[in-house]
Chain A
């Protein structure tokens, strides 16, 4: 019994021999990532409509939306990304996909930023900024066709149009209204 006990530590030799070398020659050999791995996201510029659903869901604020008068800019900063893939889940048009890419180190932070610039539509009434992209308008019209009549107008012009049509219903003549 005592001899068996004494020899026990040597069992490791057989374990080690059986398991062999388990480390991989990274990066010369392919890294061992599974099919489910979540890496950086890629935003499809042909699908994205700049609605900002992903920005609301992003836990670390890696996705940000900045609105200017004539543009909406969606910025993706990989440095903050936690690779959770929530954005891909909430995107209403499926523009975001999670890739397997993870070798993202770079000497410059510029490489870690990706921006997508959307042009903002103009109001068909007054020509001012509408705050929405043409894809957003199409998206709304597709889901609620009745909105086609007023979706191209800014809130102010919409108000005007509503008052106009109300007044017409009450019997006002167009000249009266314009006068």
Chain B
């Protein structure tokens, strides 16, 4: 279906309430609506057109058009096109209607927009979400008039002392490997509710990128530091968004090199996760062998890029490091070794009773719940949602290769294990195909100019799911850069997975979304009958690093 036909459908459905409908090649179909019509428009796009909710960007556009703007990005996966609903709020008392009841996935985005930009959402409970509790009221850090160097003195908050015996609960110490925090409410051994408290490693990267310290060519290195595991994904998503916005023609060879490195990164990330999952289930032998195999991938990554992690080869317009014949031979040799070694290990891991019995039927995420929350990546594919950015919104060189997207309908932990195991094999095939087709030529675009005021979307299928960056270009650096890591979309689904399940399965279930926050998960168990709180150190994910921006 062409863009024109989709435009016609949108005109027919939304024509009555839209103020303006336009097509921007670098982003999608942008529909501007009045705030009063936002709920109706969201309902039509999300429920009638059946589009997934992808991300939302709130922007302080007061210097441009004296409003606060919110861009809700929906994706028609089967057509590979975005529908963006744009709404503008008053500059003095910015208020928008909440759509969290129509689009449950939008819940976090609204809280974040309230916290960082001070946009109020009507008819919903708003509370501190990203910012720490002692951040002063009324200071919204992402607003343009707040300088990036602002370091407010903490607000003194009075908390009534707890009644009864007090127990230490979950450390918030920033230096400890503990940036995420779940509270599980249990009745005996059964989990009845979950509360998530995150963003302990929020570093204000988006604000920093808007500061005069940065330029377009410096941000890829900053973006790469969003995540310690899938950093290259973020730098590619950033560069794609800028290149799309400014219509920079990236040479074919650079596209191929990016894709190869992205797949190498997926290999190492999935192998890491598989090892961690084995470790959690007490199958440490599987953990060690998975990491033994992974080590070769790390060495390969270093040979290709110059570094085991944070590759640093990406720039707007291309890549910095070329691949020569020696490297191609090295990749082929590693892949051949990896294929035979991993086949043996995968066969073993997916049949050992320690793993299969614990993973089957636990942490179930039903398909309709997954659809409601628009979950991404292996979590979505294990719950029967057939979505993969590499196929649906092709970028880099993925349009030139064929691969299978594994989809399971069970929605349990075993399905998520199987999706990742199969993806490892697919990744190896993709790299082989890319090497066969690798074109010659330059690796860096010659002409590079980024005009101000353009919108661009860059999306990449990270090992954990869809990673999407939106950019509004400015002079010399982005005016606004919105990053949405895959875990951001998947954590709300944990509530569904953990509820009414035995407590013993919780660690694996939390790890099964491959959360990209940090090294040690600590869970607080509150027994509803006795009201007793105890701290339970459960999951140890070595090497994982903070991914929530």
B307 vs chain A, min Cβ distance (A) = 6
Q: Is B304 a contact partner of A36 (Cβ separation < 8 A)?
A: yes
Chain B hits for A112, CB < 8 A: none
Q: Is B306 a contact partner of A22 (Cβ separation < 8 A)?
A: no
A9 contact from B221, B222, B348, Cβ within 8 A? B348
Q: Is B221 a contact partner of A38 (Cβ separation < 8 A)?
A: no
Q: Is A59 a contact partner of B222 (Cβ separation < 8 A)?
A: yes
Mask, B322-364, CB within 8 Å of A = 1, is 0000000000000000000100110110011100000000000
Q: Is A38 a contact partner of B307 (Cβ separation < 8 A)?
A: yes
The residue of chain A having its C-beta at the shortest distance from the C-beta of B217 within the complex is A57
Known: A61-B213, A84-B221, A85-B306. A12 touches B351 (CB 8 A): no
Chain B hits for A5, CB < 8 A: 351
Task: Verify if A19 is at the interface (C-beta below 8 Å from B).
Answer: yes
Known: A59-B218, A61-B213. A15 touches B344 (CB 8 A): yes
B329 vs chain A, min Cβ distance (A) = 14
The residue of chain A having its C-beta at the shortest distance from the C-beta of B289 within the complex is A15
A17 vs chain B, min Cβ distance (A) = 12
Known: A8-B351, A16-B285. A34 touches B222 (CB 8 A): no
Taking CB atoms and an 8 Å cut-off, the chain A residues in 53-87 that contact chain B are 57, 59-61, 82-86
Q: How many residues of A contact B (CB 8 A)?
A: 26
Task: Verify if B295 is at the interface (C-beta below 8 Å from A).
Answer: yes
Q: Is B352 a contact partner of A82 (Cβ separation < 8 A)?
A: no
Task: Verify if A32 is at the interface (C-beta below 8 Å from B).
Answer: yes
Chain A hits for B299, CB < 8 A: 32, 34
Q: Is B312 a contact partner of A60 (Cβ separation < 8 A)?
A: no
Task: Verify if A33 is at the interface (C-beta below 8 Å from B).
Answer: yes
Chain B hits for A37, CB < 8 A: 302, 306-307
Chain B hits for A57, CB < 8 A: 217-218
Q: Is B221 a contact partner of A34 (Cβ separation < 8 A)?
A: no
Task: Verify if A101 is at the interface (C-beta below 8 Å from B).
Answer: no
Chain A hits for B292, CB < 8 A: 19, 22
Q: Is A82 a contact partner of B305 (Cβ separation < 8 A)?
A: no
Mask, B274-318, CB within 8 Å of A = 1, is 000000000001100100100100010011111100101000000
B320 contact from A11, A32, A33, A89, Cβ within 8 A? A89
B303 contact from A12, A34, A61, A89, Cβ within 8 A? A34
Give the number of residue pairs across the A-B interface with Cβ within 8 Å: 64
In this complex, the member of B225, B304, B307, B344 whose beta carbon has the largest number of chain A beta carbons within 10 angstroms is B307
Complex: A35 Cα to B303 Cα, angstroms: 7
Known: A22-B292, A38-B306. A15 touches B348 (CB 8 A): yes
Known: A19-B292, A85-B312. A60 touches B307 (CB 8 A): no
Mask, B207-236, CB within 8 Å of A = 1, is 000000110011001100100000000000
Chain B hits for A61, CB < 8 A: 213
A74 vs chain B, min Cβ distance (A) = 19
The residue of chain B having its C-beta at the shortest distance from the C-beta of A9 within the complex is B352
The residue of chain A having its C-beta at the shortest distance from the C-beta of B221 within the complex is A59
Complex: A59 Cα to B312 Cα, angstroms: 11
The residue of chain B having its C-beta at the shortest distance from the C-beta of A34 within the complex is B303
A34 vs chain B, min Cβ distance (A) = 4
Chain A hits for B310, CB < 8 A: 82
The residue of chain B having its C-beta at the shortest distance from the C-beta of A33 within the complex is B302
Complex: A135 Cα to B321 Cα, angstroms: 30
Taking CB atoms and an 8 Å cut-off, the chain A residues in 77-107 that contact chain B are 82-86, 89
Chain B hits for A16, CB < 8 A: 285, 289
The residue of chain B having its C-beta at the shortest distance from the C-beta of A6 within the complex is B353
Chain B hits for A34, CB < 8 A: 299, 302-303
Known: A22-B292, A34-B299. A15 touches B307 (CB 8 A): no
Chain B hits for A9, CB < 8 A: 348, 351-353
Chain B hits for A22, CB < 8 A: 292, 295
Q: Is B348 a contact partner of A8 (Cβ separation < 8 A)?
A: yes
The residue of chain B having its C-beta at the shortest distance from the C-beta of A61 within the complex is B213
B221 contact from A8, A12, A60, Cβ within 8 A? A60
Q: Is B305 a contact partner of A36 (Cβ separation < 8 A)?
A: yes
In this complex, the member of B218, B295, B299, B303 whose beta carbon has the largest number of chain A beta carbons within 10 angstroms is B218
B205 vs chain A, min Cβ distance (A) = 13
Q: Is B348 a contact partner of A12 (Cβ separation < 8 A)?
A: yes
Complex: A168 Cα to B133 Cα, angstroms: 73
Chain A hits for B312, CB < 8 A: 38, 82-85
**Can you pick out 22 interface pairs between chain A and chain B where the beta carbons lie within 8 Å of each other?**
A5-B351, A9-B351, A9-B352, A9-B353, A11-B348, A12-B286, A12-B348, A16-B285, A19-B289, A19-B341, A32-B299, A36-B303, A36-B304, A37-B302, A37-B307, A38-B307, A38-B312, A57-B218, A83-B312, A84-B221, A85-B306, A89-B320
8 tightest A-B CB contacts, nearest first: A59-B221, A84-B312, A38-B306, A59-B218, A34-B303, A36-B306, A34-B302, A9-B352
Other contacts beyond A11-B344, A11-B348, A15-B289: 14, CB < 8 A: A12-B289, A12-B348, A19-B292, A37-B306, A37-B307, A38-B306, A38-B312, A57-B218, A59-B221, A60-B221, A82-B221, A82-B225, A85-B306, A89-B320
